């Protein structure tokens, strides 16, 4: 049975400033790679997160029609799979990490290309393309070829190209990776503005908690080709069900029978001697890495039970305790810092 995801909540539909348009319902099966169901309301932004190989790109490829799948895809109440709709007839806008702009075309021609393919005459297509480049802040670069653009500029052109055709589905596969932090931040803010006006469904594959928290209305967590969790960014960040998401949002999660127990790294005490307290809240562990983290030092350690936990300690404590990789330590957390929640696959009914 496919895992089930319901995204695009009532709040997403009525949320401030969100345009609404065609929604998405898909049940996607790609043997050995993905078995998932996605429902998202028009105007919603769904962050797709999960570890490497989880099936994120496979999901986007199946929706775009470039990856063969079984199941169904329905956009705006119209089936794209029965009968199969050719890739070029799917109203999809794609933005990838490596931009995928045509190298022999100028920025303007790249954006106009999609419009021309949809039957617009040359002059209006070029005028519209220029408008979109202007909106993305790269209007003055219209005549440049992709190789004459910086990574951030090229990604702006790619976003302009994707949005210019007014797609029903916008698929963004790690659009900020490979960009400098400052450039990525500026582009994230810019994209948030355009997504607010976007009436279709946007799926954003990302490895960054910040993207999910700032851009998305809903989060879909994939793991091993299955839907591991769905919910609002706030739900998922507060109650991560997978180690991957726990790491992404900077929390420790330990499993205890039918419950997850989560706690922040700042709540973990590190000592060299076995501390008092319940076995539930203390672990013997070996230090794996020690890195600066803001004003603190972040320690990653593996417990005797092979669980990886993170702890933040002061730089003084790190020196005093000799916290180098390989060091055997005890980790303790106070019960009052632990949040307990069920190990269910969805936070929503
Ligand atoms: N063209 C392909 N043919 C067969 N299997 C593939 C193909 N592309 C990916 N896979 C496999 O499908 C599974 C899902 O891969 P996918 O690329 O969708 O994961 P992902 O979540 O996007 O990962 P990443 O974060 O590393 O990009 C993996 O096991 C992968 O090895």
Dump pLDDT digits (tens) for 104-132.
999 999 999 988 988 889 999 999 999 99
Regarding whether 23 and 53 lie in a shared domain, the answer is yes
Instruction: Supply the DSSP symbol for 323.
Output: -
Regarding whether 263 and 204 lie in a shared domain, the answer is no
Say what the pLDDT of residue 19 is: 65
Say what the pLDDT of residue 173 is: 94
Distance (Å) from CA 255 to ligand 1 centroid: 28
Distance (Å) from CA 242 to ligand 1 centroid: 19
Question: Which atom of ligand 1 lies closest to the CA of 55?
Answer: 18
Q: Residue 132 has which token pair?
A: 């979109």
User: What CA–CA distance (Å, rounded) separates 194 from 167?
Assistant: 13
What are the pocket residues of ligand 1 if the criterion is a CB atom closer than 6 Å to any ligand atom? Answer: 33, 50, 52-58
- Please state the domain count of the chain: 2
Say what the pLDDT of residue 348 is: 39
Distance (Å) from CA 24 to ligand 1 centroid: 22
Distance (Å) from CA 184 to ligand 1 centroid: 25
Q: Residue 259 has which token pair?
A: 């419950």
Contact criterion met (CB below 8 Å) for 81 and 143: no
Burial of 288: CB neighbours in 10 Å, binned 0-12, 13-18, 19+: middle
User: Mean pLDDT score of the chain, rounded to an integer?
Assistant: 88
Distance (Å) from CA 207 to ligand 1 centroid: 15
Say what the pLDDT of residue 349 is: 33
330 beta partners: 271, 284
Query: Is 3 inside a domain boundary?
Result: no
Query: Is 267 inside a domain boundary?
Result: yes
Regarding whether 202 and 131 lie in a shared domain, the answer is yes
Regarding whether 157 and 30 lie in a shared domain, the answer is yes
Say what the pLDDT of residue 345 is: 52
φ and ψ of 7, to 5 deg: -120, 175
Q: Name the residue of 28, 48, 54 whose CB sits within 8 Å of the most ligand 1 atoms, as the mutation to test its pocket.
A: 54
Say what the pLDDT of residue 180 is: 85
Nearest CA to ligand 1 atom 28: 53
Give the residue from 204, 231, 258 where a domain finishes.
Answer: 231
Nearest CA to ligand 1 atom 10: 33
Query: Is 245 inside a domain boundary?
Result: no
Say what the pLDDT of residue 1 is: 36
User: What CA–CA distance (Å, rounded) separates 24 from 92?
Assistant: 12
ipTM of the complex: 0.96
Distance (Å) from CA 229 to ligand 1 centroid: 19
CA-nearest of 116, 23, 26 to 67 is 26
The domain of 42 spans 10-231
User: What CA–CA distance (Å, rounded) separates 266 from 312?
Assistant: 5
Regarding whether 222 and 305 lie in a shared domain, the answer is no
Regarding whether 220 and 87 lie in a shared domain, the answer is yes
User: What CA–CA distance (Å, rounded) separates 226 from 242?
Assistant: 12
Successive 10-residue mean pLDDT values, the chain, 349 residues: 40 49 92 95 94 94 94 94 90 85 95 88 94 94 94 93 93 89 87 90 90 89 93 89 83 85 92 86 94 89 90 92 93 92 58
Regarding whether 268 and 212 lie in a shared domain, the answer is no
Q: What does the pLDDT look like over 180-237, one tens digit per residue?
A: 888 888 888 889 989 988 999 999 999 888 788 788 999 999 999 999 999 999 888 8
Regarding whether 325 and 222 lie in a shared domain, the answer is no
Nearest CA to ligand 1 atom 4: 33
Nearest CA to ligand 1 atom 3: 33
Q: Write the CATH number for 114.
A: 3.40.50.300
Regarding whether 226 and 121 lie in a shared domain, the answer is yes
């Amino acid at each position: 049975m496919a895992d089930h995801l319901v995204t695009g909540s009532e709040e997403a539909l009525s949320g401030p400033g969100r345009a609404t348009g065609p929604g998405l319902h898909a049940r996607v099966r790609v043997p050995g790679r993905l078995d998932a169901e996605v429902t998202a309301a028009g105007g919603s932004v769904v962050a797709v997160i999960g570890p490497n190989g989880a099936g994120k790109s496979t999901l986007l490829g199946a929706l775009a029609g470039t990856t063969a799948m079984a199941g169904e895809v329905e956009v705006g109440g119209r089936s794209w799979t029965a009968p199969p709709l050719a890739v070029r007839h799917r109203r999809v806008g794609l933005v990838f990490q490596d931009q995928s702009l045509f190298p022999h075309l100028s920025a303007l021609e790249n954006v106009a290309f999609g419009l021309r393919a949809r039957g617009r005459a040359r002059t209006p297509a070029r005028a519209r393309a220029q408008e979109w480049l202007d909106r993305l802040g790269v209007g003055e670069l219209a005549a440049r070829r992709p190789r004459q653009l910086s990574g951030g500029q090229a990604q702006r052109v790619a976003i302009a190209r994707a949005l210019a055709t007014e797609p029903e589905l916008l698929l963004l596969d790690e659009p900020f990776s490979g960009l400098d932090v400052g450039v990525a931040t500026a582009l994230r803010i810019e994209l948030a503005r355009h997504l607010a006006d976007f009436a279709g469904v946007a799926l954003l594959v990302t490895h960054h908690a910040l993207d999910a928290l700032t851009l998305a209305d809903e989060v879909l967590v994939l793991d091993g080709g299955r839907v591991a969790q769905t919910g609002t960014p706030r739900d998922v960040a507060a109650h991560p069900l997978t180690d991957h998401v726990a790491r992404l949002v900077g929390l420790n999660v330990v499993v205890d029978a039918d419950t997850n127990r989560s706690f922040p790294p700042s709540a973990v005490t590190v000592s060299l001697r076995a501390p008092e307290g319940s076995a539930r809240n203390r672990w013997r562990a070996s230090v794996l890495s020690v890195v600066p983290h803001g004003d603190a030092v972040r320690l990653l350690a593996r417990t005797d039970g092979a669980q990886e936990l993170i702890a933040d300690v002061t730089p003084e404590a790190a020196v005093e305790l000799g916290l180098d990789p390989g060091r055997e330590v005890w980790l303790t957390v106070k019960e009052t810092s632990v949040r307990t929640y069920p190990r269910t696959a969805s936070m929503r009914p």
